[in-house]
Chain A
Amino acid sequence: KQEVTQIPAALSVPEGENLVLNCSFTDSAIYNLQWFRQDPGKGLTSLLLIQSSQREQTSGRLNASLDKSSGRSTLYIAASQPGDSATYLCAGPHGSSNTGKLIFGQGTTLQVKP
C-alpha cells in the first residue's frame, strides 16, 4: 500500500530564500508523482507532474525531482516570494496505476515573510 509523507509540516522563510520541500513514498513502482498548491479555503492547483521515466520537471521558479529508488521527491522553489505562501501537497497514484486515484501527503504549509 502506497504511503506518502511530507516533512516538515510547516516552514517559514524570509523572502528571496531558495527552499526545498520534501516528499517520501513507500512504493517505488509509482507511476508518476504530482505536486499541488493549495491556498486557504480553496481547491488544489496542479504545479508539476513527473512521470516515472523522468527525473525532474521545471516550471518557472519551481523544479521537482523524482528518485524512485530512494522513494523521494523534492520541490525546489527559487527566490521565494510572499505570494508563494500556501500549502504544498505531493501525491502519487495507488500502486502502479495510472488513474487519478491519488494518495496524498499531509502537506507542508509554507510562509514566506516579506
Chain B
Amino acid sequence: DTGVSQDPRHKITKRGQNVTFRCDPISEHNRLYWYRQTLGQGPEFLTYFQNEAQLEKSRLLSDRFSAERPKGSFSTLEIQRTEQGDSAMYLCASSGFAGVGSPLHFGNGTRLTVT
C-alpha cells in the first residue's frame, strides 16, 4: 500500500491554458474521488467514480472540467481554458467498497495557480 499518489504537486499556468492532473489511487480501492480546496476552507466534492463509471458530478464541475478513469485504475482531471478562479488545491481520494463506510484516503494534492 503506497497510498494515493497525485501528479504534479504544483502547476502554474496562464489563464486560458488547459491543464491535466493525474491520480493513482490505492490499488485495491474501487472508489475514487476528486475534491477542490481553497485557502482556509474545507475540501469541496467535485466528482467520484466507482471502478470506471463516473457516478456523480457536483454543480461546481463546470463544462470546462472533465474527469476520466478509463480502466478503473488511475484517473485524470482536465481543466480547459483555465480561469484565475480555478486556482486551488485539487485533491484526490480513494476508498474501498463502502458497505459499512470506508474511510477516505487522500493524496497530497495538486496545487494549481492560474496567472
Contact = CB atoms under 8 A, between A and B. Distances in A.
Contacts of A32: 101
Interface in B50-65: 55-56
Nearest to A52: B101
Contact of B31 (A4, A34, A99): A99
- Chain A facing B: main interface SS: strand
A29 to B, nearest CB: 14
Interface residues of B, number: 29
A45 B101 contact: no
B98 A98 contact: yes
B43 A104 contact: yes
Q: How large is the interface on A (under 10, 10 to 19, 20 to 34, 35 or more residues)?
A: 20 to 34
Nearest to B40: A106
A91 B42 contact: yes
A114 interface: no
Interface stretch (A14-22, A36-44, A72-80): A36-44
A100 B41 contact: no
Contact of B106 (A41, A44, A49): A44
Chain B CB count within 10 A is highest, among A31, A101, A102, A103, for: A101
Interface of A: 4, 31-32, 34, 36, 41-46, 49, 51, 89, 91, 93-94, 98-107
